[in-house]
Structure 1
Amino acid sequence: MLSFIRQTGPVSRAQIARDSGLSKPTVSQALTSLEGARLVREAGRTSGGKGPTAQLYELNPHAGWVVGLDVGRDRVRAAIADLSGEVVGRRDERSKARSARSLIAQIGELARALAADAGIHWRQVTFTTVGSAGVFEPERDEMQLAYNLPGWSGHGVVDAVRAELGTNVAFENDVNLAAVGEQQYGLGRDVANFVYLHIGTGVGVGLVLNGELYRGSRGAAGEIAYLPLAASDPHDPGNLRRGALEEAVGAAGVVAVARQLGIAPPLSARRVFT
């Protein structure tokens, strides 16, 4: 119901019941709970029609704040938004991490500084989403296949991030999150099935099938970096760390080919294509 109110705007109890298929008593009970949690608020009354006016309700965007963290090998980025999705602050800095501990400390400092810049107390942040390379395994509560980030794969990292941030925290693959963003705000709107291809420092895809993010049975459906390429041995343990496709077409691979072709330094993937 909260999602419906957020998307629709000021609505009456009768409209919610009519459009959602819920009974009016159920709608009234849910609205009472949402008001009690300050997630919705009164927004005037209906006008222009016959009969008595009805109370309207809308999302209370400042009932809480959410933070998004993009944890990459070279950069760490953060954004803070209200519950309507309006971004009120961003920060972007070079990653200084050489270990999981230092990386976790950096993202904690970055997130708190971002909130302070926006005039928001950190205790007002109700949810944080952390996007990074790799696959989050909820059964084991840990990240896997995040070899580009020092110490990010394995036991204890997820708990340490939660302890550092002190909020509700969700973990997701960064390309999956990019696909969700494209679905909500980009060319993926009103498209039921699409593939979002990311080529940068790493390589991966985000799959949206029947309007839903598709992760696969183990969460690794988009991990195309590990596809075997040419003469590479798919059974070579080294390929699990490097990813044959990523090694060939990721940023480092592009620079390596440019160097072989004699392109003068300084070299970067961006410079090769501009």
Structure 2
Amino acid sequence: MRENGAMPASDAIAQPEQPWNRQRLRSTNERLLLDRLRTGGAASRAQLARETGLSKPTVSSALAALEEAGLVREAGTHAPERGRVAVLYAPDPAAGYALGIDIGRSWLRVAVADLDGGVVARADVRNRARSSGAMADLVVSTARQVVANSGLGAHEVAHAVVGTPGVYDGERRRVRYAMHLPGWGRAGLFDRMREELGIPLEVHNDANLAALGEYTYGVGAGSRLFAYILIGTGLGMGVVSEGRLFTGARGGAGEIGFLPWPGLQKPEKLEDAVSGEAVVEAARQF
């Protein structure tokens, strides 16, 4: 029942927070076409219209907008047996670049890649840092050098991703469980790197990123449920479910290295028995 013309609470809840509009419709169509081109390869306007269900004028308008934004480019032509020669469109890999940073106890690996995953510049340097602050300095200086070697301007690097042992706590802005990197759990280290690099920066578990890479480019492609086990200085696992990383409620899913090792007091956990260092140590004893 309405009083004083007021709308009942149930009706108010049903109202969308952000009503649909033409601009959103255009951007959705552009994203649909861009996703199709990225996953399915180059295609003509007619082919895109058939596969997406959009009208040819809508496809032409969306492609023009994507081309103007530098996200899509002409990639040749296709001459069918009958009919006109068709222009093919494909994503432009040079529309933006990403900075990847892999932090390990022994090595720091940094690379700049285009949107197709093509590596433009890379550096692998020994991690000789003896403190978390020195390691942060090494990350920033190496990243700057790699960007400089790529020949790109800093503004062309749109995003940076750090892979690190442990679990990143976004609320406290610190890494937990990075046992092999003393001091790496100190709060504020990644804020400092973010500020000094001047690039939007995300932090993820290294095994999770490896799993996502293998799912995208390797043997896990197309899998409904895919698990990747990373054996190095420590032991980790990344899980990809329905194309998305499965990290659990607090980001700890896949941290199998901390599982107890049954029947023995030492090693106390699974990582102590099967990590790369553990295997080498066991071999030395024989």
Distance 1:255 1:12 in 2: 55
The CA deviation at 1:86 is 1.4
User: What amino acid is aligned across from residue 246 of structure 1 in structure 2?
Assistant: E
User: What amino acid is aligned across from residue 4 of structure 1 in structure 2?
Assistant: R
Alignment partner of 2:227 out of 195, 204, 210: 195
Q: TM-score normalized by structure 1? A: 0.80
- Aligned 8 A contact 1:147 1:153 in 2: no
The CA deviation at 1:99 is 2.2
Specify the alignment match of 1:109 in structure 2.
141
Q: What secondary structure is seen at the aligned counterpart in 2 of 1:215?
A: coil
The CA deviation at 1:71 is 0.5
Specify the alignment match of 2:254 in structure 1.
222
- Aligned 8 A contact 1:143 1:158 in 2: no
Distance 2:137 2:37 in 1: 37
How large is the RMSD of aligned CA atoms in angstroms?
2.8
The answer to whether residue 271 in structure 2 is matched with residue 246 in structure 1 is: yes
Distance 2:200 2:135 in 1: 19
The answer to whether residue 144 in structure 2 is matched with residue 74 in structure 1 is: no
Judging changes above 3 Å, is the alpha-carbon distance between structure 1 residues 53 and 138 closer, same or farther for their aligned structure 2 residues?
Answer: farther
Gaps of 5+ in 2: 1-32
- Aligned 8 A contact 1:12 1:54 in 2: yes
The CA deviation at 1:3 is 2.9
Please show how residues 13-52 of structure 1 align to structure 2 within 5 Å: 13-22=45-54, 27-28=59-60, 30-48=62-80, 50-51=82-83
Distance 1:179 1:22 in 2: 34
The CA deviation at 1:228 is 1.2
The CA deviation at 1:49 is 5.8
Distance 2:238 2:186 in 1: 23
Judging changes above 3 Å, is the alpha-carbon distance between structure 1 residues 142 and 2 closer, same or farther for their aligned structure 2 residues?
Answer: farther
The CA deviation at 1:205 is 0.9
Judging changes above 3 Å, is the alpha-carbon distance between structure 1 residues 147 and 30 closer, same or farther for their aligned structure 2 residues?
Answer: farther
Please show how residues 107-146 of structure 1 align to structure 2 within 5 Å: 107-146=139-178
The Cα offsets for residues 160-200 of structure 1, whole Å up to 9 and x where unpaired, read as 22112211222211111111121122221232223211211
User: What amino acid is aligned across from residue 111 of structure 1 in structure 2?
Assistant: A
The answer to whether residue 132 in structure 2 is matched with residue 96 in structure 1 is: no
Q: TM-score normalized by structure 2? A: 0.77
The CA deviation at 1:55 is 4.4
User: What amino acid is aligned across from residue 108 of structure 2 in structure 1?
Assistant: V
Specify the alignment match of 2:195 in structure 1.
163
- Aligned 8 A contact 1:232 1:244 in 2: no
Percentage of identical aligned residues: 45
Specify the alignment match of 1:268 in structure 2.
none
Distance 1:18 1:137 in 2: 45
Please show how residues 172-211 of structure 1 align to structure 2 within 5 Å: 172-211=204-243
- Aligned 8 A contact 2:261 2:268 in 1: no
